[in-house]
Amino acid sequence: MFDGIKIFTIRMIAGANVASVILMMAVGYSDHLSPEHFALLSTAGLFFPLFLFVNFCFLFFWLIVKARYALIPFLGFLLCYVPVRKYMPLNICSEPPAGSIKVLSYNTLSLAEGVTDEDGVNPIVKYVRRQNADIVCLQEAVPTAYEWEQIDTLLRPVYPYIETINHPNGGNGLMVLSKFPILGKELIPYASKGNLSAAFRLSVKGKEVLLVNNHLETTGLSLEERRKFKNLVKGKLETDTAEQTSKLLIVKLAEATKKRAPEADAVANYLSRYKGKSIILCGDFNDSPISYAHRTIAQDLTDCFIESGNGLGISYHRSGFYVRIDNIMCSEDWKPYGCKVDSKIAVSDHYPMLCYLKMQSKH
């Protein structure tokens, strides 16, 4: 009788593992769903780490209890290889070769909301100067007159080419600082109350490169809603309140995802006009690596973090949200090296992303 109960229990657990694998696949490939038609389901990618963790637990359990059943979670990982690699890539580190350029993308939270260090200098201005990247893409960057003085004094000697584009409604802006000449710029048109994408034409070592800087639609959560979500993650909310907060969060995220879809489509359509040209794309997508926005924009580009980074690469780190929403991408004529998120500076709600790019010679 005991053997019968044991067999039944093993089969039930195996069935649960199969179900978790099916759900992991559904969530992992949810970026193929259009948010305009499946708004709620299209947010599922945010929960992929949960199913990844559950499958790891099943793998560990089977290796201890009944090793041959470990084939179930192992097959799950194989079937979800693409989303697993998107969310948590593992690459062999290699030094960037001579002649590589360094690219920095950073959502600055309005240049750290105007804070200064003890010396009176904005910490983001100091960080950009210290990193000495060749191309810098900043989001939420609308400097005050005082901050412009610091930029002109500390950054313009390093970056002779500085351009900005602000949203027509004001309040939000993009900035590019470059060691290479900026030949032109234009706003990529799409409907948004405060977010924007812009294209800049650069001359990089004699070759024209299209640089696209993005800040796609935000989650739309208020400070109070973010506070509640943070408490939810920490388990500090009552059951009823936690349920209400969870529902509100999902609805708000779905609404934002639906707004981002046409923005991502607009950027992808703009890029399609330059297919075969040299492209570098940066910015804050406000969405996870498993999302419609990421898949749509990256379809003809190389995601530099997936190609050369390691781990989760969490770039947003406040209000209980811990996810990689910032990106650097490039066309096939560039090879990325050592893409990483720099968590050593925390004056913004985002960490900066850095990457080296080496221009490939055509065969």
Q: What is the pLDDT of residues 48-67, one digit of tens each?
A: 999 999 999 999 999 999 99
> What is the phi-psi region of residue 70: left when phi exceeds 0, alpha when psi lies from -120 to 50, beta otherwise?
alpha
Q: Are residues 75 and 135 in the same domain?
A: no
Answer yes or no: do 144 and 71 share one domain.
no
- Structural domain ending residue among the three candidates 61, 87, 113: 87
Question: Could you give the CA distance from residue 197 to residue 191 in angstroms, rounded to a whole number?
Answer: 11
- 120 with 154: CB under 8 angstroms? no
Q: Residue 198: exposed, middle, or buried by beta-carbon count in 10 A (0-12, 13-18, 19+)?
A: buried
With tokens 């900066």, the residue in question is: 352
- Determine whether 130 is exposed, middle or buried from the number of CB atoms within 10 Å of its CB (0-12, 13-18, 19+): exposed
| CA-to-CA dists, residue 148 to 152, 156, 246, angstroms | 6, 10, 42
d(CA 69, CA 282): 43
- The two tokens of residue 136 are 């810098």
Q: Do 126 and 59 belong together in one domain? A: no
Which amino acid would we find at residue 310? N
**Residue 58 belongs to domain spanning:** 2-87
- Name the percent of the chain in helix, strand, coil, to the closest 5: 45, 20, 35
Residues 62 and 129 in one domain: no
How many distinct structural domains can be found in the chain?
Answer: 2
Does 54 share its domain with 163?
Answer: no
Residues 135 and 199 in one domain: yes
pLDDT of residue 363: 46
Domain end point (choices 87, 111, 139): 87
Indicate if 40 and 126 belong to the same structural domain. Answer: no
Global pTM reads 0.92
Contacts of 269 (CB under 8 A, 6+ apart): none
Q: How far apart are CA 41 and CA 23, in angstroms?
A: 12
Q: Last residue of some domain: 87, 114, 140?
A: 87
Instruction: Give pLDDT tens digits along the chain (363 positions).
Output: 567 788 889 999 999 999 999 999 999 999 999 999 999 899 999 899 999 999 999 999 999 999 999 999 999 999 999 999 999 999 999 999 999 999 999 999 999 999 999 999 999 999 999 999 999 999 999 999 999 999 999 999 999 999 999 998 877 999 999 999 999 999 999 999 999 999 999 999 999 999 999 999 998 776 676 666 656 555 555 565 666 767 778 888 899 999 999 999 999 999 999 999 999 999 999 999 999 999 999 999 999 999 999 999 999 998 777 899 999 999 999 999 999 999 999 999 999 999 999 999 764
81 and 130 belong to one structural domain: no
Select from 215, 286, 297 the least CA-distant residue to 264.
Answer: 297
314 and 351 Cβ atoms separated by less than 8 Å? yes
Same-domain pairing of 40 and 118: no
Question: Does residue 190 fall inside a structural domain?
Answer: yes
